[in-house]
Structure 1
Amino acid sequence: MNIQGVPVERVACSDPVLVLGGNGRLGRILHMRWANRPDVFWQARGPVAGIRWAPGVPWPGPARVRAIVALWGVVPGRGDPAANVPLACAAMALGAALGAERVLHCSSAAVYAPAPLPRNETQTDPRSAYGKAKLAMEQAIAAWQTANPQGPAACVLRIGNVAGADSAFAAIRHRGPVRVDRFAGGHGPRRSYLDHATLARVIDVLLTCPNTALPGVVNVANDGVIDMADLVRAAGRQLVWTPAKTPQAGTVLLDLTRLRQLVDPGPTDPATLLADAATLFRGQR
């Protein structure tokens, strides 16, 4: 049921869902939520449970799937972000080969420039190399669809800051004071955050809504913004302010109007985000 109270029809199919990138952060988060789902297969390139596979070698998994969730990709500081382009195209090609109806792709709020007003899906203006690479990935997906009109539908999720997966949580996890940029008005960086339960719920809705309701691009986050300084305080850590070097980077707020046509993401809070992060970090030990 969407935010207007109108039931959203669900697609029923006996073929499984394939998740690409089961050993990445988003993959581990989703696996914790979906570990007992018999209709989901998990792919990874490393030695983890599931299907070990990489593009360029024969596919060893099921002959048919109803959908693919492409969580794989290069994150900031861990390789060349341009590699996200061929990975997205490989996911589309695999989806076509396996008869998938749709492929969900993970993009990022980094495709937007920071701004005090909500950023909707038409307002791309990436400032970082990672954001530019993610936008190039989105454009490559659109080009692939144009060249392969009989292929699967694609939905790009522009995901906000996920609990446990951004720099604030990494700093909180380590001992010592946590340095936070201070912006005009006395606040820290304010971002649209996403807790783990909402991530799993949104993906499930996007997997089961009719193709006619599937958005090509959609912002994904919980309602509102959360100040990174509030995360530090809620964790009981010492907060050390530093002057913000880029004053315009104070706020990244995602417009969720399109998402709410399918599902109400609801709010989250620092306590929920910190609990999710702790669960993710425990799974890394």
Structure 2
Amino acid sequence: MSGAGQMQGAAPASRCLITGATGRLGRLLRALWPAEDSPQPIWLARRGDADILWPGADAPLPDLPRCETLVALWGQTSGDAQTLVQNVDLVAQGVKLAHACGAKRVFHISTAAIYGPGRAMDESRIPAPINAYGSAKLEMERAIAALPRDGLRHVILRLANVVGSDSLAPALQHPERGITLDRFADGAGPRRSYIAPGDLARVLAGLARLAPDTLPDVLNIAAPAPVAMEDLARAAGCPIIWRAAPPEAQAEVSLDSNRLAQLLPGAMHHVTPCEMLADWHSAQGRIA
């Protein structure tokens, strides 16, 4: 397993235990985790290639190195209600892991979908999800809010679309197939908040270096400005098939990331569609 030999020498403060290592997002982060001035990542998964394997709640906890941070990257993004409710069940499993490795802070990965539609939505906005995934993550957030104050600092990270790990990813991987996008009355397509996978890795590493009592309860994770999906598609050489936007379609869904910029100034290195795509391509090359 890739990190087992390194675990022995690293201090607890310089280690992060990260679940979901073999998922689509986990693989991207593994390829792009910053090497310098960053906590050493210890990757955990239920199966496959990871530093530590743990099948889940019904299995005994594995031997864990001491880590000051747990990043609960795991979760279900699609499926029926029975599948999506697993996002709530994973909260207790994350707490168990955090206590077992001596963590001081836990980063729970939530989603911008809990807000529902809107522009420049900040962390004070009242959640109003309009799909099953957003509703399941909101229930997860409520379970986190109800946890006892037992020495762990719980931080909810509401994540924007990650380039290479969202609904646009299949088209970016196979641009020859083209992609269908909604066209709105102004002639443009949808705009969404995104973050490059390498920037997300840099954000997680940066947050893990901050003192637990300086961290907010909730934090939006996104690049400073929303991105036109058509620009991402064109940067990938992907032909666009336009259709008239239906009445329920949203021209822009975006997050306010000012709180993140104040905590970690300069963390975003890839903010244009071309830069974001290049970052994702660099991950793809390392994964392959």
TM-score (norm 2): 0.86
- Which residue number in structure 2 is paired with residue 226 of structure 1? 227
SS of 1:119's partner is coil
* Distance across 2 between alignment mates of 1:246 and 1:28: 36
Matched, 1:27 2:26: yes
Tell me by how many angstroms 1:57 deviates: 1.4
* Distance across 1 between alignment mates of 2:226 and 2:15: 35
CA contact (8 A) 2:13 2:39 kept: no
Deviations 1:62-110 (A, max 9, x none): 2532110110111124981111011122101221233210111111111
* Distance across 1 between alignment mates of 2:62 and 2:160: 33
Which blocks of at least 5 consecutive residues in structure 2 are unaligned?
A: 1-10
Task: Give the direction of change, closer, same or farther, for the CA distance of 1:25–1:246 in structure 2 (3 Å limit).
Answer: farther
Matches within 5 A, 1:99-110: 99-110=102-113
Matched, 1:93 2:93: no
Larger displacement relative to structure 2 (159-168 or 13-22)? 13-22
SS of 1:261's partner is helix
The letter of the residue matching 1:25 is R
- Which residue number in structure 2 is paired with residue 8 of structure 1? none
Aligned residues: CA RMSD: 2.3
The letter of the residue matching 2:88 is V
- Which residue number in structure 1 is paired with residue 276 of structure 2? 273
- Which residue number in structure 1 is paired with residue 153 of structure 2? 153
CA contact (8 A) 2:22 2:45 kept: yes
The letter of the residue matching 1:166 is D
Which blocks of at least 5 consecutive residues in structure 1 are unaligned?
A: 1-11
The letter of the residue matching 1:230 is D
- Which residue number in structure 2 is paired with residue 137 of structure 1? 140
SS of 1:249's partner is coil
The letter of the residue matching 2:213 is T
Deviations 1:12-64 (A, max 9, x none): 85463211111112211221123867832111111213111022211223253
* Distance across 1 between alignment mates of 2:282 and 2:57: 31
* Distance across 1 between alignment mates of 2:39 and 2:160: 28
- Which residue number in structure 2 is paired with residue 172 of structure 1? 172
Tell me by how many angstroms 1:202 deviates: 1.0
The letter of the residue matching 1:179 is T
Identity of aligned residues (%): 39
CA contact (8 A) 1:183 1:247 kept: no
- Which residue number in structure 2 is paired with residue 41 of structure 1? 42
- Which residue number in structure 1 is paired with residue 4 of structure 2? none
* Distance across 2 between alignment mates of 1:279 and 1:81: 31
Task: Give the direction of change, closer, same or farther, for the CA distance of 1:282–1:275 in structure 2 (3 Å limit).
Answer: same
* Distance across 2 between alignment mates of 1:76 and 1:283: 27
Tell me by how many angstroms 1:120 deviates: 0.9
CA contact (8 A) 1:160 1:221 kept: yes
CA contact (8 A) 1:179 1:241 kept: yes
- Which residue number in structure 1 is paired with residue 6 of structure 2? none
CA contact (8 A) 2:32 2:283 kept: no
SS of 2:44's partner is strand
Task: Give the direction of change, closer, same or farther, for the CA distance of 1:39–1:172 in structure 2 (3 Å limit).
Answer: closer
CA contact (8 A) 1:16 1:41 kept: yes
CA contact (8 A) 2:12 2:67 kept: no
* Distance across 1 between alignment mates of 2:27 and 2:224: 23
SS of 1:254's partner is coil
SS of 1:65's partner is coil
